[in-house]
Structure 1
C-alpha cells in the first residue's frame, strides 16, 4: 500500500470508504462536514492508502491547538481513519496510522489527539486514553431564570470567525483548561456557516446550538465564557426555549459552571466519549504545556518510544514556576521508566499511583516513587473536549 496526500477529487472515494466502514452520512450533513473540513483538504492533510490505483484507506491530520493548563499546544487532530471493509485484516489500518504519526512529527506537532474506534490499534502505536467529550442533559426551564442581569450578546456568522476563535481561546486560557481544541479562523468560518446551527458572541463568551432533528430538545455544542455575567446570559438564552424544548443536551466540561449555576441540580446522566493522546515530540510538548504556578517537581526519566526514537533516551524533567523542561540526562538508577503510553497519560494528568498499578510507569528506587508523586501534582488535570473530529 502506497500512502500519499489526497485532493478534492478524492472526496467521493473517502466518503464511500467511510460509509462502508462506519455507516452512511446524509448529503446535507456531508456537505456541512465538507465546509468545516475544507482547510484540511486545502492544506493537503488528508491522506489515502492506494492499492493498484484504488483508495483502500484514508485519514486526516487536522491542524489544531489543544489547551493544557491554559496554554495552547500545537497538535494534530487525527480523524476519519477508515479502511475499506473488504481490505481489513491486512494491517492497513496500522500502516496508515503509523504513517500519519510520522507525518505529525514532520508537521511539527508536539501532540496528536484522536477519538478511537478501537483502542488496541492506537495503544500499540503509543496513544493512551487521556480525556473525554462530555454531554449532560439539563431541564430547559432550570436554565431560563439563570440570568442575574443582561449582558451584551449578538448573533455570530462566518464573518466573525477570527473573533470567535480569539474569544474561545481567551476563555480556555483564563480558566486554565486542559484538553479543549482550538481551530484556525478558516475552520471557524465553516463551523459558523451551518444553516441549522445558531451562534452568539459576547465580549468574553460564545454559544453555539442546534435543534434536535425531531425538535424535541436543544443541543448546545459549545458554551464558554470568562465571567459569571456572560455565562448566565448565554445559558438563559438557551433556557428561553423552554416553552418548546423540555430538555437541553449540552457538551460541557465535567466541572462546567452551569452545574453550579442552576437552582435545582438534581440527578443527571453524564455521557463520556473518550479520546486518546500521543506525545509526538516530548521536549517540545513539555515546554509548551502550562503548569500550576506553585507546582515544583524534578525526576529522572527513561523513555522507550519505538515508533518515534527521538523521544527515547534518558531525560531530566523539571517543572518550576509554571514552566516545564525535558533535557537529556545521564542514565540513572533512580529513573522512572515509561513508554509513549505512560508519558501521554502522565501529560494528561493521570496520577502516578494509577500509572504504576496499570504498568505504564516503573521505578525500583523509593526516591523515584516520591519524584513521581511530585509529578502527579505538577501535571494534575481534568481533560475534556468540546469538539469531535
Structure 2
C-alpha cells in the first residue's frame, strides 16, 4: 500500500531543489551538473513526488513541439526521471508518471515523448516505441568524395540564429524532428572538457544550403548536428569531411535507420554503431490527430476504437476524417480499428505500418481499416537527432 503521496511543481525552495539534485546525481551516475541542468530546463518545468517534506523522486516536463506530416505538434518531453533508491519498487515512479500524464491532458498537451531507461515502466503509463535515434560511423579514408560544388564557411563566433531557417526547412519534412527551442540549440554548442565546437555553413552566406556543427577528439570527428537541403550541399558535406582524413580516422553523425546521405558514397562503408528508440504517448487523442499533417491527395475516413486506462476521455470510439492534408476528429464511429493507447503511438509516428502492428498484437482491424490507416499514416520514417 502506497503512503499518501503529494505531486507538485518544483518551487524555488532551496531545500527542495537540493533534495532533487541529490536524487538526480544518485540516479544518473556522471550526470554533468544537475544544478546547472535544472537551471537550464527551468525550475518550473520540474515535477516532484513526496511524502510529507521528503522528496521521493522527480522529473523534467519540457514544453516542445515536434514535426509530423509537415505540421508542428505541441509536445512535452519527459526527462531526468529519477526515484531515490530507498523508494524504488514500491510504485512511486508509476504514480508520478500517471500524475504527469493527467496534468498534461488537463493542460491541453497532445503528445509526450521520452527516452526510456526501461520500457516496462513507461509502457505502464501508455508510452510506446515511436521513433529512432541512431549513431552512424564511417572510416574517413573510405568516403572518397572529392567534388565540392559549394564553399564551407566557418562561423566564428557561432551564431545559432544562422542555422534556424536551414534546420526548419529540413525538420518539417521529417516525422519526429523537434521544433527546437533555446534549450536544444544551446546544448549543441556547449563545450565539454575544454573541447572546441566548430560550425560551418554550406554554400554562400546569403543563401546557405546546409550546415554542420562538430567536435574533434582522439581521431574521431563527431557531428553534433547537420542539415542538408540540396544535392550540391550533400556532396560538399562529404568532400569536406573526406579532407580530414590525414588526422581523423572516423566520422560519426546522427541520422535515420536508413540514411539517404549514404547514397552518395562509393561503397557501403557507413554503418550504424548504436540505435535507440524513443517513446511517445498520445496524451489527447483528438488534439494529437488534428494537429499533425497528413499526405496530400487522399480523402479517407478511419474509424478508431481506442482503449486508455489512464485518460478516460481517450477511452472511446473516434472517426478521423482526412482530406487536403488535414484531419478532423469526431466522437463515435464503427470502431473498425481496435487498439490501445500504446498501439496508437507507433501508428501515429509511422514507425511501424498497421500490418506490422497487427502482427505484433498492437491492433486489430478490418482490411478496409488497415488500408485506410496505411494511407493516412504514410510518411518518412520517424527519427530525431536530439537527445533529452
Fold equivalence (TM over 0.5): yes
Q: How does 1:88-127 map to 2 (within 5 A)?
A: 88-127=88-127
**Given the superposition, is the C-alpha separation of residues 314 and 120 from structure 1 closer, same or farther in structure 2, using an over 3 Å criterion?**
same
TM-score (norm 1): 0.87
Task: Between 215-224 and 266-275, report the one with greater CA deviation.
Answer: 266-275
- Equivalent residue for 1:169? 168
Q: CA offset at residue 249 of structure 1?
A: 1.7
Whole-angstrom distance in 1 between the partners of 2:200 and 2:101: 36
Whole-angstrom distance in 1 between the partners of 2:239 and 2:96: 46
Whole-angstrom distance in 2 between the partners of 1:52 and 1:19: 22
Task: Between 11-20 and 295-304, report the one with greater CA deviation.
Answer: 11-20
| 1:4 and 2:8 are equivalent in the alignment | yes
**Given the superposition, is the C-alpha separation of residues 237 and 177 from structure 1 closer, same or farther in structure 2, using an over 3 Å criterion?**
same
| Aligned counterpart in structure 2 of residue 34 of structure 1, from 27, 36, 55 | 36
Q: CA offset at residue 38 of structure 1?
A: 4.2
Whole-angstrom distance in 2 between the partners of 1:186 and 1:117: 22
Q: CA offset at residue 204 of structure 1?
A: 3.5
Whole-angstrom distance in 2 between the partners of 1:109 and 1:231: 37
| 1:361 and 2:360 are equivalent in the alignment | no
Whole-angstrom distance in 1 between the partners of 2:104 and 2:162: 28
Whole-angstrom distance in 1 between the partners of 2:146 and 2:112: 38
SS of the aligned residue for 2:263 comes to helix
| Aligned counterpart in structure 2 of residue 211 of structure 1, from 211, 216, 221 | 216
Aligned length: 372
- Equivalent residue for 2:253? 250
| 1:343 and 2:344 are equivalent in the alignment | yes
Whole-angstrom distance in 2 between the partners of 1:19 and 1:292: 45
- Equivalent residue for 2:205? none
Whole-angstrom distance in 1 between the partners of 2:236 and 2:304: 48
- C-alpha contact (below 8 Å) 1:218/1:248 kept by paired residues: yes
Q: How does 1:1-389 map to 2 (within 5 A)?
A: 1-7=5-11, 9=14, 12-25=18-31, 29-30=32-33, 34=36, 38-41=39-42, 44-143=44-143, 145-151=145-151, 153-155=153-155, 160-173=159-172, 176-185=173-182, 187-194=184-191, 196=195, 197-202=197-202, 203-212=208-217, 215-266=218-269, 268-330=271-333, 332=334, 335-349=336-350, 350-363=352-365, 368-381=366-379, 382-389=381-388
Whole-angstrom distance in 1 between the partners of 2:20 and 2:247: 39
**Given the superposition, is the C-alpha separation of residues 236 and 54 from structure 1 closer, same or farther in structure 2, using an over 3 Å criterion?**
farther
Q: CA offset at residue 378 of structure 1?
A: 2.0
- C-alpha contact (below 8 Å) 2:343/2:357 kept by paired residues: yes
Q: CA offset at residue 23 of structure 1?
A: 1.6
**Given the superposition, is the C-alpha separation of residues 167 and 108 from structure 1 closer, same or farther in structure 2, using an over 3 Å criterion?**
farther
- 1:180-215 deviation digits (Å, cap 9, x = unpaired): 222213542353343633333452423122234xx1
Q: CA offset at residue 356 of structure 1?
A: 1.9
SS of the aligned residue for 1:285 comes to helix
**Given the superposition, is the C-alpha separation of residues 282 and 204 from structure 1 closer, same or farther in structure 2, using an over 3 Å criterion?**
farther
- C-alpha contact (below 8 Å) 1:165/1:182 kept by paired residues: no
- 1:105-151 deviation digits (Å, cap 9, x = unpaired): 24432110111111111111111111110111112234473543123
SS of the aligned residue for 1:264 comes to coil
Unaligned runs of 5+ in 1: none
SS of the aligned residue for 2:271 comes to coil
- C-alpha contact (below 8 Å) 1:165/1:188 kept by paired residues: no
The RMSD of aligned alpha carbons is: 2.5
- C-alpha contact (below 8 Å) 1:38/1:187 kept by paired residues: no
Whole-angstrom distance in 2 between the partners of 1:140 and 1:15: 41
SS of the aligned residue for 1:136 comes to strand
- C-alpha contact (below 8 Å) 2:142/2:269 kept by paired residues: no
- 1:200-240 deviation digits (Å, cap 9, x = unpaired): 3452423122234xx13111122112112223333433333
**Given the superposition, is the C-alpha separation of residues 19 and 124 from structure 1 closer, same or farther in structure 2, using an over 3 Å criterion?**
same
**Given the superposition, is the C-alpha separation of residues 186 and 238 from structure 1 closer, same or farther in structure 2, using an over 3 Å criterion?**
same
TM-score (norm 2): 0.87
Whole-angstrom distance in 1 between the partners of 2:140 and 2:164: 27
**Given the superposition, is the C-alpha separation of residues 257 and 336 from structure 1 closer, same or farther in structure 2, using an over 3 Å criterion?**
closer
Unaligned runs of 5+ in 2: 203-207
- C-alpha contact (below 8 Å) 1:317/1:327 kept by paired residues: yes
Whole-angstrom distance in 2 between the partners of 1:370 and 1:308: 28
